[in-house]
């Protein structure tokens, strides 16, 4: 079955409202094994909506519409579908009753314009709306099914779950696993696994995502068990790409590092400069972090790097704040002074400024101090990269370095 999602609303076209209904319906259809070939957004314009309906009908077996079912002048979805069906509109007594009752229950006078929401083309079936006045519409023409829902996300979701989805199940499932990798770029990972991209069931698709790379492995089958069986060998092979593979689905670098520290019964302490505490913040996003995070120093001023983390003042005066030695001394200072098994030090230039040596904006040094010694890495994230991206990437590098040390 081939589906098309048609979202109606000028507010969507001008970026005033995020089209969460399209995302919701796309996910739901994927889970049912129904292919979505088109997602179209059109404004509250009768001609263009009519054109979009006709185009959708010409290429899809199922057209899901969202929005434009309200009582006002600009809510035109039902009229546009009626025009496509070549029908007029007639009042449905049961829908009118529902609307009148809703107003009675809410103790509000009904505006006569609300009765517009009781008008449907004769061949259509109204879809009950338990939470509002806008009934949906079901219609069929030339092998294409139409289902129209209100734009209000809560109402659309309830009507989808209670009315539409049960009528569409039975066409199989699509199941996917998201595999996550750190410390490798998208193209390097892609070239390592390129043979998998040719597969059709499961399919493998790469995504770059803020300092890490994801591979989505997706299988289509009659049942959930069959989909699992199709996924298993590919997921196993792609999870064996060490040391880059770090976790799957909802796992994150902070959650995986936390799990490893718990397993080792070890702790970590931080001395952050350019990341301003972001690493501590990300680590504490995980519940149970108090079992392995001792704490962190935010040593932004040069003076504090010495006073709180013990970085050599003469070295700082002679060589500046962003170099291997400073990162290593920050990591050691955190480890020793805050008494943890591991120490992480981060120092870098998050953007250009008067103190920044030419070409060094975006340069970050990250160091890890541990039971077997200290190591540091420099990363250049780009001179024009936004500060918050550089900070986030630096925390990704730090977490990944610690993860790798914990794997040994
Ligand atoms: P109502 O009877 O409540 O007016 P409606 O079917 O006429 O419902 P719209 O007027 O198109 O729906 O939209 C109502 C509200 O729902 C919008 O103001 C917007 O906040 C939200 N909305 C509409 N379309 C979408 C969408 N595609 N994704 C997310 N929210 C949406
Ligand atoms: Mg409306």
Per-residue pLDDT of 161-195, as tens digits, reads 999 988 887 557 778 899 999 999 999 999 999 99
Q: Which of 22, 23, 67 to mutate to test the pocket of ligand 1 (most atoms within 8 A of CB)?
A: 67
End-to-end alpha-carbon separation of the chain, Å? 49
Q: What pLDDT does 197 receive? A: 87
- Report every protein residue that has its C-beta within 5 angstroms of ion ligand 2: 70, 75
Question: Phi and psi (nearest 5°) for 308?
Answer: -95, -35
Rounded-to-integer distance, Cα 202 and Cα 226, Å: 11
**251-266 pLDDT tens trace:** 999 999 999 999 999 9
Note if the pTM is more than 0.85. no
* Pocket of ligand 1 contains residue 151 by CB under 6 Å: yes
Contact (Cβ atoms closer than 8 angstroms) between residue 102 and residue 71: no
- pLDDT value for 170: 58
Q: Is the CB of 134 under 6 A from ligand 1?
A: yes
From the CA of 7, give the closest atom in ligand 1: 27
Residue ranges in the chain modelled with pLDDT below 50: none
pLDDT at 199: 83
75 Cβ below 6 A of ligand 1: yes
- Beta strands (DSSP E) in 129-257 are 136-141, 144-149, 173-181, 203-208, 213-221, 245-248
């Amino acid at each position: 079955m081939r589906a098309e999602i048609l979202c109606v609303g000028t507010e969507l076209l001008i970026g005033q409202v995020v089209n969460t209904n399209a995302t919701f319906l796309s996910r739901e259809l994927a889970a049912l094994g129904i292919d979505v070939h088109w997602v179209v957004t059109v404004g509250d314009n009768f001609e263009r909506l009519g054109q979009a309906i006709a185009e959708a009908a010409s290429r899809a077996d199922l057209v899901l519409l969202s929005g434009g079912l309200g009582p006002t002048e600009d809510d035109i979805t039902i009229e546009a579908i009626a025009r496509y069906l070549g029908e007029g509109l007639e009042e449905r007594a049961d829908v009118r009753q529902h609307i009148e009752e809703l107003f009675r229950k809410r103790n509000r006078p009904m505006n006569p314009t609300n009765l517009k929401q009781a008008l449907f083309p004769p061949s259509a079936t109204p879809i009950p709306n338990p939470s509002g006045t806008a009934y949906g519409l079901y219609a069929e023409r030339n092998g294409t099914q139409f289902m129209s829902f209100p734009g209000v996300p809560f109402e659309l979701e309830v009507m989808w779950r209670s009315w539409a989805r049960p009528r569409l199940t039975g066409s199989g499932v699509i199941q996917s696993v998201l595999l996550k990798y750190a410390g490798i770029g998208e193209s390097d990972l892609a070239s390592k696994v390129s043979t998998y991209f040719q597969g059709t069931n499961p399919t493998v698709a790469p995504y770059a995502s803020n300092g890490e790379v994801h591979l989505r492995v997706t299988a289509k089958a009659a049942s959930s068990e069959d989909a699992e069986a199709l996924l298993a060998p590919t997921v196993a092979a792609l999870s064996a790409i060490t040391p880059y593979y770090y976790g799957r689905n909802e796992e994150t670098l902070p959650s995986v590092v936390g799990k490893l520290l718990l397993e080792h019964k070890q702790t970590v302490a931080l001395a952050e400069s350019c990341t301003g505490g972001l690493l501590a913040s990300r680590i504490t996003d995980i519940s149970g972090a108090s079992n392995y995070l001792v704490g962190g120093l935010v040593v932004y001023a040069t003076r504090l790097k010495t006073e709180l983390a013990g970085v050599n003042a003469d070295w700082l005066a002679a060589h500046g704040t962003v170099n291997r030695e400073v990162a290593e001394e920050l990591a050691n200072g955190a480890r020793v002074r805050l008494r943890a098994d591991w120490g992480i030090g981060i120092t870098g230039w998050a953007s250009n400024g008067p103190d920044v040596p030419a070409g060094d904006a975006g340069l970050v040094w990250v160091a890890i101090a541990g039971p077997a010694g200290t190591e540091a890495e420099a990363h250049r994230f780009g001179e024009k990269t936004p500060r918050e991206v550089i900070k986030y990437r630096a925390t990704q590098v730090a977490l990944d370095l610690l993860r790798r040390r914990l794997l040994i």
